[in-house]
């Protein structure tokens, strides 16, 4: 491992004093006497970019991570200098650039407190072995600073005191603290003195992060090549930091609503009769399910884009029959293309010269499931175009609705490093490079090509893609899962942390293999994992299958009933989850919120790992241990309703919460309005003739949202959506809900059924849009009523 180095280390080189400064609109150029250049770009008042070169000039500016639609523009920019430093001031930040050594300090423009400060700052080491520089950055760790983010690390949610490496790695049955695993997301958030900032080190080489491990008061990051190129985001709210990073690297389009339903997967369901048995059982047992997966055995000898004639003789008919029963078929596609002259995908790839090559010319040959394979260079636009085109038959003709990209780290079997050797060449979209630079983005570019194929051939319906490997920005194209976890209680805890961490890293559409991929859970573990999984944006059971079955009915009737109950809750909450997805898609807001993001001012939250908020208003805490009758958990400040008993708990403390096996700690924020569907066996099974709104009374105010559209297709992009903002206000003898609507979508239902929980007074009068209505006319009973969906003001009073 390349170590972060200390000052004494002779190999480190440093910028000398600034001799030249130039401003070019929003880009500031600084040059030092030893020809180091710093390009400081002011992207927004709270977003700065720092780029360093050690050779006096920059290579072409190119990144796969950055979303072309990222916001740009600031309200204020002023540059001055004094004897020791340049001073860049925006509406939110002050940045000092020290003349003597190019070091940086960033301060809050309002109160001038230090937010982030270089320790040694930028330095580098020349590496003849790697070629180029090992570029390094070290920052002062502030008093009491905590760190969050970095993608899928199976570690404590607070990264302080630990060191990490980003190198996408196939990690079968990884454990707690295994590093690195499948993803490389070099973005973290720091929090100290109640203020939060973020750093995105946009460098696709092998990167390292050290959060006060090597030295107690220093946080550093470095890369084995490429540029020191990082973005700085200021909050001070942590949510704003994550939102800014997500704005820069992008969010996905809305998924089809069915993708938020429950998915069933196994390695492998085959032949067709087995697939049908499984799907039939879901319907017979009335356990909702929207998607069924086919793992590698559906293919002919693991050749991508083929079907096994023996197991799936008529895929089109089967996929249609499954679709008629509400099941969307999702199939796996890996990057390795079997070397076989009889196989047209291979022949075509070879003829067109689309496969990756070693530095000296031969093709990159490696063993994966089909045996020896070549691998497309997804960093070439024409290869991505070809790959997208390969989906025509699967999607357009056969009717497959989703594609699962696996082994795309890329994984290679039986070789040291479990991947391509470093010399393999890539185009990198016209910036030719070795695998050292392209490794971490290989899976992302594969998923991108897959996404474009699905989008083209599934149009006018929306695509659904899931990937294992990812780099920053991959969330624009696909959902993800955490790879090959294990059926242990510890892994249930890890899955919870990873889903939160990915959400804090801009990648919300994620979930674990529920129940564990390797080994076999018992019924209790499976039930507890389902309880957690239904609150993750992506909800799928998957298992390697070689240790037994892992369907909801694979244990006993009690477990089946519990699993059904929780999957039903997910189906009821679909409009809530979809609204949460909309907020992610349109406002860059993470779908899961760790308690620290929810309330950073409460220092109690800084090390909490188990509790999280799903969306904005549902507090979830899984049971992580066997034989539990409940657990202690931290309830964040504010008032919360126990979801089951409707008792109100005042937060800001640890509390024991009862949770027998058929229950789990679940709370709703007081004042929330939670939209609900009736239970369906799959999305679209029923026409929704009335939408339920569960209102949780509060003495005070709270805002909620409801987003709706056609649940698929692109009409929403042309304004055919409905976004309702609910303002709730309550006091001792009155409760008011106001609705503001945006968009032109007309929902199929005409009425809301409103259930009010915790109302402290007896209702004597009801006004809808300022007119008194007869209580009978709105079917008022037990604090429930039915009103037109068109109301803009509803008032309930005690007299
Ligand atoms: C990998 C995947 C796993 C899949 C298996 C076979 O291990 O992570 O999900 O089932 O390959 O395709």
Query: What is the 3-state secondary structure of 161-212?
Result: CEEEEECCCCCCCCCCCCCCCCEECCEEEEEECCEEEEEEECCCCCEEEEEC
- What residue segments make up the domains of the chain, in order of their start? 18-249, 687-797
**Residue 570, helix vs strand vs coil:** helix
**Residue 447, helix vs strand vs coil:** helix
pLDDT under 50: residue ranges of the chain: 1, 6-9
Using alpha carbons, select from 183, 250, 164, 176 the residue that is nearest to residue 481. 183
Total-model pTM = 0.97
Helix (H) or strand (E) holding 435: helix 435-458
| Spatial distance between the Cα atoms of 28 and 35, rounded to a whole number of angstroms | 16
| Spatial distance between the Cα atoms of 582 and 505, rounded to a whole number of angstroms | 17
Q: 18-249: CATH homologous superfamily?
A: glycosyl hydrolase (family 31) (2.60.40.1760)
SS (H, E, C) 493-514: HHHHHHHHHHHHCCCCCEECEE
| Spatial distance between the Cα atoms of 352 and 397, rounded to a whole number of angstroms | 25
Q: Which residue has the tokens 């010399």?
A: 423
How would you classify the pairing of strands 162-166 and 146-149? unpaired
Using alpha carbons, select from 556, 560, 558 the residue that is nearest to residue 541. 560
Mutate to test the pocket of ligand 1, among 264, 267, 297 (most ligand atoms within 8 A of CB): 267
Cβ(355) – ligand 1 distance below 6 Å:
no
pLDDT digits over 174-191, tens only?
999 999 999 999 999 999
Using alpha carbons, select from 396, 358, 390, 359 the residue that is nearest to residue 374. 358
**Residue 113, helix vs strand vs coil:** coil
Cβ(296) – ligand 1 distance below 6 Å:
yes
Active-site positions read 406, 409, 484
Cβ(134) – ligand 1 distance below 6 Å:
no
Cβ(293) – ligand 1 distance below 6 Å:
no
| Spatial distance between the Cα atoms of 698 and 767, rounded to a whole number of angstroms | 19
Report pLDDT for 487: 98
The 10 Å CB-count burial string (b at 16+, else e) for 740-751 is: eeeeebeeeeeb
- As given in the structure block, the two tokens for residue 568 are 């039903």
CB atoms within 10 A of CB 115: 23
| Spatial distance between the Cα atoms of 645 and 323, rounded to a whole number of angstroms | 38
Compute φ and ψ for 465, nearest 5 degrees.
Answer: -130, 145
Going from the Cα of 407 to the center of ligand 1, the distance in angstroms, rounded, reads 7
Cβ(447) – ligand 1 distance below 6 Å:
no
- As given in the structure block, the two tokens for residue 119 are 């320790």
pLDDT digits over 645-668, tens only?
999 999 999 999 999 999 999 999
CB atoms within 10 A of CB 348: 14
Report pLDDT for 758: 98
CB 617 within 8 A of CB 669: yes
Report pLDDT for 4: 53
For ligand 1, what atom is nearest to the CA of residue 411?
1
- How would you classify residue 374: left for phi > 0, otherwise alpha for psi between -120 and 50, otherwise beta? beta
- As given in the structure block, the two tokens for residue 547 are 């240790």
Return the residue whose CA atom lies nearest to atom 5 of ligand 1. 267
Report pLDDT for 247: 98
Mutate to test the pocket of ligand 1, among 408, 411, 484 (most ligand atoms within 8 A of CB): 484
Report pLDDT for 196: 98
Q: Is the peptide bond before 282 cis (omega within 30 degrees of 0)?
A: no
CB 256 within 8 A of CB 569: no
Going from the Cα of 267 to the center of ligand 1, the distance in angstroms, rounded, reads 7
CB 369 within 8 A of CB 334: yes
**Residue 523, helix vs strand vs coil:** helix
Q: Are 18-249 and 687-797 the same fold in CATH?
A: yes
Cβ(635) – ligand 1 distance below 6 Å:
no
Crossing angle, helix 557-572 and helix 523-533, to 10 degrees?
A: 0
CB 227 within 8 A of CB 203: yes
Going from the Cα of 266 to the center of ligand 1, the distance in angstroms, rounded, reads 9
Mutate to test the pocket of ligand 1, among 297, 304, 406, 408 (most ligand atoms within 8 A of CB): 406
Q: Say whether domain 687-797 belongs to CATH 2.60.40.1180.
A: yes
CB 728 within 8 A of CB 671: yes
| Spatial distance between the Cα atoms of 236 and 664, rounded to a whole number of angstroms | 33
Cβ(524) – ligand 1 distance below 6 Å:
no
Report pLDDT for 8: 42
Question: What is the sign of the dihedral through the CA atoms of 31, 32, 34 and 37?
Answer: negative
Cβ(170) – ligand 1 distance below 6 Å:
no
Report pLDDT for 390: 98
CA atoms within 13 A on the CB side of 529: 32
Report pLDDT for 10: 55
CB 529 within 8 A of CB 516: yes
CB 93 within 8 A of CB 46: yes
Going from the Cα of 542 to the center of ligand 1, the distance in angstroms, rounded, reads 9
| Spatial distance between the Cα atoms of 276 and 428, rounded to a whole number of angstroms | 43
**Cα–Cα separations (whole angstroms), residue 465 to 213, 249, 509:** 37, 18, 11
- How would you classify residue 368: left for phi > 0, otherwise alpha for psi between -120 and 50, otherwise beta? beta
């Amino acid at each position: 491992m390349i170590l972060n180095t200390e000052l004494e280390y002779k190999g480190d080189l440093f910028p000398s004093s600034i001799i030249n400064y130039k401003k070019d609109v929003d880009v500031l150029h600084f040059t030092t006497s030893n020809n180091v250049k710093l390009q400081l770009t002011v992207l927004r008042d709270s977003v700065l970019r720092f780029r360093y070169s050690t050779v006096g000039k920059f290579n072409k500016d190119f990144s796969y991570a950055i979303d072309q639609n990222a916001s740009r523009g600031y309200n204020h920019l002023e540059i001055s200098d004094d004897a020791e430093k340049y001073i860049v001031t925006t509406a939110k930040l002050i940045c000092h650039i020290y003349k003597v050594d190019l070091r940086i300090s960033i301060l809050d423009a309002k109160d001038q407190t230090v937010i982030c400060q270089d320790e040694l700052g930028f330095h580098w080491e020349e590496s003849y072995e790697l070629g180029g520089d090992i570029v390094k950055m070290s920052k002062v760790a502030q008093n009491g600073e905590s760190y969050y983010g970095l993608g899928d690390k199976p570690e404590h949610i607070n990264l302080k005191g630990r060191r990490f490496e980003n190198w996408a790695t196939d990690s079968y049955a990884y454990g707690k603290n295994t590093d690195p695993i499948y993803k490389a997301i070099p973005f973290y958030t720091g929090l100290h003195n109640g203020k939060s900032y973020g750093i995105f080190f946009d460098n696709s080489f092998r990167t390292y992060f050290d959060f006060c491990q090597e030295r107690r008061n220093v946080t550093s990051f470095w890369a084995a090549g490429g540029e020191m190129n990082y973005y700085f985001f200021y909050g001070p709210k942590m949510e704003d930091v994550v939102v800014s990073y997500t704005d820069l690297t992008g969010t996905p389009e809305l998924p089809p609503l069915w993708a938020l339903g429950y998915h069933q997967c196994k390695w492998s369901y085959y032949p067709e009769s087995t697939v049908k048995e499984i799907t039939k059982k879901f319907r017979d047992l009335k356990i909702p399910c929207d998607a069924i997966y086919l793992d590698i055995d559906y293919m002919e000898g693991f050749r991508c884009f083929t079907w096994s004639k023996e197991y799936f003789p008529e895929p089109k008919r089967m996929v249609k029959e499954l679709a008629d029963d509400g099941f969307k078929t999702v199939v796996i596609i890996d990057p390795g293309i079997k070397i076989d002259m009889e196989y047209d995908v291979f022949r075509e790839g070879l003829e067109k010269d689309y496969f990756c090559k070693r530095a000296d010319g031969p093709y990159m040959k490696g063993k994966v499931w089909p045996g020896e394979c070549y691998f497309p260079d997804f960093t070439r636009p024409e290869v991505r175009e070809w790959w997208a085109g390969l989906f025509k038959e699967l999607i357009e003709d056969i009717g497959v609705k989703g594609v699962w990209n696996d082994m795309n780290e890329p994984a290679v079997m039986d070789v040291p490093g479990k991947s391509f050797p470093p010399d393999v060449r890539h185009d990198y979209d016209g910036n030719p490079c070795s695998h050292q630079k392209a490794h971490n983005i290989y899976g992302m570019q594969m998923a991108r090509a897959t996404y474009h194929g699905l989008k083209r051939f599934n149009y006018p319906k929306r695509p659904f893609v899931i990937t294992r490997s990812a780099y920053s920005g991959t969330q624009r194209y696909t959902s993800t899962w955490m790879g090959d976890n294990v059926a242990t209680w510890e892994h249930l805890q890890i899955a919870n942390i990873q889903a939160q961490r990915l959400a804090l890293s801009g990648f919300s559409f994620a979930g674990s293999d529920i129940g564990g991929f390797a080994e076999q859970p018992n019924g209790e573990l499976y039930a507890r994992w389902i309880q957690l999984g239904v609150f993750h944006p992506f909800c799928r059971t998957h298992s390697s299958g070689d240790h037994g079955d892992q369907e909801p009915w694979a244990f006993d009737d009690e477990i089946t009933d519990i699993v059904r109950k929780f999957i039903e809750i997910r189906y009821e909450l679909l409009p809530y989850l979809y609204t949460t997805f909309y907020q992610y898609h349109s406002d860059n807001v993470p779908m899961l919120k760790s308690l620290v993001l929810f309330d950073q001012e409460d220092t109690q939250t800084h090390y909490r790992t188990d509790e999280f908020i799903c969306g904005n208003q549902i507090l979830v805490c899984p049971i992580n241990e066997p034989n539990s009758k409940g657990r202690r958990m931290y309830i964040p400040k504010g008032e919360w309703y126990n979801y089951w008993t409707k008792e109100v708990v005042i937060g800001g403390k640890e509390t024991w919460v009862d949770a027998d096996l058929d229950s789990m700690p679940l709370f709703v924020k007081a004042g929330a309005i939670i939209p609900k569907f009736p239970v369906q066996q799959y999305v679209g099974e029923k026409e929704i003739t009335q939408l339920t709104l569960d209102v949780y009374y509060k003495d005070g105010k709270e805002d909620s949202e409801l987003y709706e559209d056609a649940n698929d297709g692109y009409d929403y992009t042309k304004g055919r959506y409905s976004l309702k903002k609910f303002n709730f206000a309550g006091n001792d003898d009155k409760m008011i809900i106001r609705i503001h609507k945006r968009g032109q979508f007309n929902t199929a239902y005409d009425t809301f059924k409103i259930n009010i929980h915790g109302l402290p007074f007896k209702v004597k009068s009801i006004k809808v849009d300022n007119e008194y209505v007869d209580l009978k006319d709105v079917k008022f009973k037990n604090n429930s009523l039915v009103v037109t969906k068109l109301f803009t003001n509803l008032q309930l009073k005690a007299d």
